[in-house]
């Protein structure tokens, strides 16, 4: 599905990267710990998180993450927005909690970028 489909499913607002809504996504990873994201997330995945600081964008850039979805209605700081614009990483914000966000995407065909740790 495209980022635009994700936006619809999550009733989300696009804050950075409106020009990238056509991007295809198939997998996702949910976490509030960037160290875990660095350990387990795969390239071209969505990153679902409740963190809003610039390190989220930095982590996404290092890992070639397709887009960041901020959950629980969280909004990025101004610094985070600036860095995301500079590194061209889309940010969406949804009011759904992390569990609902993950569930809704999974039901629509997005799968985890890994199923279990130690399985890759």
Residue ranges that bind another protein, judged by CB under 8 A: 32-39, 43, 49, 51, 53-56, 58-59, 61-64, 79, 87
Cβ of residue 4: shortest distance to another protein, in angstroms?
A: 25
Decide if 1 contacts 108 (C-beta within 8 A).
yes
Please give the Cα distance from 83 to 95 (Å, whole number): 23
What CA–CA distances, in Å, run from 117 to 87, 90, 98? 29, 27, 19
Please give the Cα distance from 66 to 60 (Å, whole number): 8
Cβ of residue 70: shortest distance to another protein, in angstroms?
A: 13
Specify the residue, 9 or 31, whose C-beta has the smaller distance to another protein: 31
Cβ of residue 26: shortest distance to another protein, in angstroms?
A: 17
Specify the residue, 9 or 60, whose C-beta has the smaller distance to another protein: 60
Specify the residue, 11 or 79, whose C-beta has the smaller distance to another protein: 79
Q: What are phi and psi of 10, to 5 degrees?
A: -100, 5
């Amino acid at each position: 599905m495209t980022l635009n489909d994700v936006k619809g499913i999550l009733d989300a607002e696009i804050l950075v990267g409106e020009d990238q809504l056509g991007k295809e996504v198939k997998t996702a990873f949910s976490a509030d710990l960037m160290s875990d994201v660095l350990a387990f997330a795969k390239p071209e995945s969505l990153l679902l998180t409740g963190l809003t600081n610039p390190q989220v964008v930095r982590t996404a850039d290092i890992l070639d993450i397709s887009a960041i979805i901020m959950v629980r209605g969280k909004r990025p700081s101004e610094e985070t927005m600036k860095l995301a614009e500079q590194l061209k990483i889309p940010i969406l914000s949804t009011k759904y909690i992390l569990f609902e966000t993950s569930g809704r995407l999974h039901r629509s065909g997005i799968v985890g970028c890994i199923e279990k740790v130690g399985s890759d």
